[in-house]
Amino acid sequence: MKVRDVMTRKVTSVPADTPVMAVARLLADRGISAVPVTDSWGMLLGVVSEADLIRRLSTSDAPEPSFFRALFYDREQAAARYAAVHGATAGDIMTRDVVTVTEEVTVEHAAHLLETHNVRRLPVVQDGVLVGILSRADLLRALLAPAKDTSDDAIRTAVAAEIARLPWADAPYVFFDVANGTVTLYGFCHSVAVRRGLVAIAAGVPGVQKVEDRITDVTPGRMV
């Protein structure tokens, strides 16, 4: 499944000269956690998030005096940070280095980006133009979407592909079969963790009704 299949296409955005307080009101009124900033052509310039606005409040708190703070105080850096956080417009305070995706990216890769960069949403762009937003909620809908093909052959292919994709799942003495939506695992395995992982792989494939674990535990070094 691709990003284009689950992304939200109707996106609220603001121009760079939008006053910060207007952006804060927009987020509060619409119950959203961030808003993209675009130019007149729809090109993505950045994103203003709740974190950007909260940072504005946190830097307003007077720091406690400290000898070591004064010793290592960087006046230029502090001034630049204050100016950026307390800017008057969306363009002043927005996050510019934004992780984006295109419509052709898989939802699995998009989910990986969300987790890796610890963000809640990914702007979807086409040649730099904002065309949508992919949120965590969108990915949940992708997770719940029914599979198009749940035949035994499709299940067999999906299980084999996932086992081949994961290095830890290379268990040469474990085999599986699929019949009427039931995946049966059999063979020999000396790792409890790998065995549980293989069961999880089978159970997570769309269309699987049941997983039968018939793998035999063996002591390492005793299998011929």
CATH number of the domain encompassing residue 188:
3.30.1340.30
Residue 192 lies in a domain: yes
Q: Count up the domains in the chain and report the number.
A: 2
Phi/psi for 6 (5° steps) reads: -130, -10
Q: Tell me: the pLDDT tens digits for 88-110?
A: 899 988 989 999 999 999 988 99
Task: Let me know whether 14 and 40 are in one domain.
Answer: yes
Domain finish residue from 115, 144, 173? 144
pLDDT of residue 160: 93
Q: Is residue 222 part of a domain?
A: no
134 and 177 belong to one structural domain:
no
Q: Is 78 helix (H, G, I), strand (E, B) or coil?
A: helix
132 and 43 within one domain: yes
Are residues 39 and 118 both part of a single domain? yes
Which of 64-73, 83-92, 126-135 comes out lowest in average pLDDT?
64-73
User: Which long-range contacts does 156-164 make (Cβ < 8 Å, 24+ apart)?
Assistant: 158/205, 158/206, 159/183, 159/201, 159/202, 159/205, 162/201, 162/204, 162/205, 163/198, 163/201
What CATH number did the domain enclosing 92 receive? 3.10.580.10
Containing structural domain, residue 140: 3-144
Domain end among 121, 144, 167: 144
Predicted confidence (pLDDT) per residue in 10-57, tens digit: 999 999 999 999 999 999 998 888 999 999 999 999 999 988 888 766
Whether 223 has a pLDDT exceeding 70, the answer reads no
68 with 135, same domain: the answer is yes
Residues 167 and 106 reside in one and the same domain: no
